[in-house]
Structure 1
């Protein structure tokens, strides 16, 4: 092989080595499927496979906007997912997903007009939940 023909091969090997070190960040839909759907169901209606075994029925996530005068309560939802709101005395039925979703911080406006550094995976789940809202 001539030196000019081997350069693209070397470049591809180098690029492949760089890509091996880069970890793929799951999408919001993928994280929802992995962490939320067992309780909330694939459509978010609270009818997941283990929903009937829980002490409290999981929330119907398709109604979040409807229950908030047509506006998706982004900040409140993200706080609940992350584990900031734990109900009375922290006795939440829903687990704290903050440690599982810890990721690169990105600027995000949760609806209050303030760009706040927020974990990317948390943003992606919130954005995915917006797509599940009943029309």
Structure 2
């Protein structure tokens, strides 16, 4: 029996790569808001346009909205993405919670999201986008 030559091993892989390149790219359906748009619609009223907790509705709330620009700073320099998304979604319940649950409003197509534990979890894309937007507010 002759040993396999490298060309015979890599030829099927090269063919598969060419075939994949010919397939149409999967696209996210248009029509749902970006993270910035969802923030403006659902968060800025209380947290303010810059996320500092000073939105126009903040004065009438029994508890001051969180300053979203210091979440990473208050977490040892690491942005707590999973905790933020759980809070937005309404999964993380706290006594005295003033913030509404946004799960029904952010229900959308699912994407695989790795929160850092190496496990890809199906998560609504709008929730991930909103979390990424809040992450971008850090230090502003």
TM (normalized to structure 2)?
0.77
Q: How far is 1:112 from its partner?
A: 2.4
Residue in structure 2 matched with residue 55 of structure 1 by the alignment: 62
Shift of 1:111: 2.5
Structure 2 residue 131 is matched with structure 1 residue 123:
no
| Equivalent residue in structure 2 for 1:38, among 42, 45, 58 | 45
Q: Which is higher, the Rg of structure 1 or of structure 2?
A: 2
SS of residue matched to 1:36: helix
Q: Which whole-Å deviations, capped at 9, do the CAs of 1:19-73 have from their partners, x for residues lacking one? A: xxx6511000000000000000000000000101100000000000000000000
Task: Tell me how many residue pairs correspond in the alignment.
Answer: 112
Contact between 1:74 and 1:111, CA under 8 Å: does it hold in 2?
no
Q: Which runs of 5+ in 2 are unaligned?
A: 1-28
Q: Alpha carbon RMSD of aligned pairs, Å?
A: 1.2
Q: Is the 8 A contact 1:108 1:118 kept in 2?
A: yes
Q: Does residue 101 of structure 1 match 2:106?
A: yes
Aligned to 1:73: 80
Query: What's the TM-score, normalizing by structure 1?
Result: 0.79
Q: Which runs of 5+ in 1 are unaligned?
A: 1-21
Partners of 2:123 and 2:76 in 1: CA distance? 25
The answer to whether residue 88 in structure 2 is matched with residue 85 in structure 1 is no
Distance in 2, Cα, partners of 1:40 & 1:31: 13
Residues in 1 aligned to 2:57 and 2:107: alpha-carbon distance in whole angstroms: 25
Q: Distance in 1 between matches of 2:117 and 2:70?
A: 21
The structure that is helix-richer by fraction is: 1
